[in-house]
Amino acid sequence: MAEGHSPLSQFEIKRWVPIQVGDLDVSFTNSATFMALTVIGVSAFLVLGMRRHALVPGRWQSMAELSYVFIANLVKDTVGTEGRPYFPFIFTVFMFVLFGNLFGMVPYGFTFTSHIVVTFTMAIVVFLGVTVIALIKHKLHFFTFFMPPGVPLIMAPLLVPIEIISYLSRPVSLSVRLFANMLAGHTLLKVFAGFVVALGLFGAFPLAFVVALTALEIVIAFLQAFVFTILTCLYLNDALHLH
Amino acid sequence: MREPGPGEDLERLDARLKRATAEARRSAPGGPPRDERPGSALGLALRVGVELVSALAIGVAIGWLLDAWLGTRPWLMLAFILLGGAAGILNVYRMARGFGYAVGYKQDPPSGRKRPGDQGPGIEE
């Protein structure tokens, strides 16, 4: 296959505006462009959608309200009323990941959620934030989290490290799940799209498959944004109500 | 035929909304199990893999760093590989026992709060 047509070339970072600050490369890349576009897109979606704020909502207002109510209910169901102060953050995370995933579905677009750096940064922010909230709320009592109740003290030297590793693995599994899903889905799309041309007349079959796969990818875009958000909520719930 | 006034329209909409909300509330708790979605078996498999490997990777990383710090290569890493594997299996065990996305050992959700993640393994991926 020709250079630049590999199924993985879509994930390549391209420096659009090279900027160098000292030893740091802070170039404005295609990834940064799509993040900025996502922020603009989310803001436009919510602000323009709610501009008319009619009593009987139109299509855009309805979608904006739906997404708001959806996340508000999610926070209420998983964290309870104590989670309300954190709603803006959780809503932002959800909309950012969702629009990032969806913008990645636009042809010639770039999916920044398919990069582990991006997802891991978000996961580590969630993880550190939640840990700090737990430490502020429960002080040193937080460390009983690593010692399940009813366990004999002799088991502690073995169990506590296991629990700590299990706790530390949260940001890894949180970020890998989102990144792996987006990476695998987009690679699969490109691989099958490559078959369409290669097979000539029989390319209709992979073409049909690619159409179906595109629909599935859009479902996954929603699902993974939801999973990322619900996990954030559950971690927050653990931080607020230790057990 | 008389055109319905705007007030009447709103009243009818309100009645319909109330009915729909009541219906949604009724069907919510015992609703259809969400894990009947196609492709959830693959999702479950992926989740198990991610949980296992991520805990193992953290174990290896901790062991590696401690070894480099204390100069005990390779013993702490060997110990932490085992601990990481155990943590991974613990993660999967919690998932499979129906703790859903929640961590810890509390299986029953506190009264009044429904945890969507608790509806069994593999609902999302």
Select the residue of B13, B54, B83 nearest A162 (Cβ to Cβ): B83
Residue spans of the domains in chain B: they are 51-103
Q: Are A56 and B9 in contact (CB under 8 A)?
A: no
Given the cut 0.85, state whether the ipTM is greater than it: no
Could you tell me which chain A residue has the CA closest to the CA of B59? A165
Is residue B22's pLDDT more than 70? yes
Select the residue of B13, B88, B124 nearest A226 (Cβ to Cβ): B124
pLDDT (tens digit per residue) in A150-183: 888 898 889 899 989 999 999 999 999 999 999 9
Q: What share of chain B is helix, strand, coil (3-state, %, to 5)?
A: 65, 0, 35
- pTM for this model (two decimals): 0.80
Collapsing DSSP to helix, strand or coil, A51 comes out as coil
pLDDT (tens digit per residue) in A136-147: 999 888 888 888
Residue A68 binned pLDDT confidence (cut-offs 50, 70, 90): very high
Of A63, A105, A68, A108, the residue nearest A90 (C-alpha) = A68
Select the residue of A149, A166, A234 nearest B90 (Cβ to Cβ): A166
Could you tell me which chain B residue has the CA closest to the CA of A184? B46
Tokens of B114: 């429904």
